[in-house]
Amino acid sequence: MVGRRNVSCALALLTAAALAGCSRPARAPRMEVHDLMSQTVARSTGLEESFTVGDVTGGSETNPLWTPQVGNDAFRAALERSLQANRMLAAMPDSARYVVFARLLEVERPVVGLAMRVAPRIAYRVIERGVPGEVFREEITTSYVAQFEESPLGAERLRLANEGAIRESIREFLNRFRDVWLARLGPPSDPPPAAEAEAQPS
């Protein structure tokens, strides 16, 4: 019994070492979402260059001797890059009309596996400066699966899954925010009827 328990512990340690050997944190450029809001920004006043990112919390720094994580700084940078890629990020944070906050509530991730599935639950909030209440508030759960073909190394595969899951979360946040924004604007008004041409003298 003791021998079997020792073997199980040794296997667990070897597995963890193989997975975490060269763990590296998630990279902001790999979590960035491009060109999702361009049409909405183009036809809606008040969105272009009107946003900044406030507090981003709940992330964890990566210990090279353990599993890859998503840090607050990388998550914040990914949000900023995504807003900028969609023409929503203000050039100067102090001039922004809206502030986006994000809190990483929990993350489901595997310890081992050929396919690594990561599923974060993130609370997003958007406020308008100087206005009581919130423009947007939702908890969003998404997931991403990194396949063995993407990397044979477990630690790198888990990092790819982390990055993909946060990218999908930011994408879903932008999609849901767009829906809320358009609902606030209401249906587009019909264009005024064209003026009738004046009768030409004969």
**CB 152, CB 144: distance < 8 Å:** no
Widest CA span of the chain, in angstroms? Answer: 111
Give residue 196's pLDDT. Answer: 45
Question: How far from the centroid of its chain's Cα atoms is residue 81's Cα?
Answer: 10
**CB 178, CB 88: distance < 8 Å:** no
**CB 50, CB 90: distance < 8 Å:** yes
Residue 17 has which token pair? 């070492």
In this model, does residue 1 exceed pLDDT 80?
no
Between residues 198 and 124, the one the model is more confident about: 124
What gap in Å lies between CA 97 and CA 131, rounded to an integer?
A: 10
Strand positions, DSSP E, the chain: 51-57, 98-108, 116-128, 136-141, 144-146
Domain ranges of the chain: 18-27+35-184
Residues 6+ apart with CB under 8 A from 113: 154
Phi-psi region at 30: left, alpha or beta (left = phi > 0; alpha = psi -120 to 50): alpha
Give residue 69's pLDDT. Answer: 74
What gap in Å lies between CA 60 and CA 58, rounded to an integer?
A: 7
In this model, does residue 17 exceed pLDDT 60?
no
Give residue 7's pLDDT. Answer: 42
Q: Note the CATH number of domain 18-27+35-184.
A: 3.40.50.10610
- Least confident span in 55-59, 65-69, 137-141, 159-163: 65-69
The percent of residues in the chain predicted with pLDDT above 70, rounded, is 77
Give residue 13's pLDDT. Answer: 41
What gap in Å lies between CA 53 and CA 31, rounded to an integer?
A: 15
In this model, does residue 2 exceed pLDDT 60?
no
pTM comes to 0.77
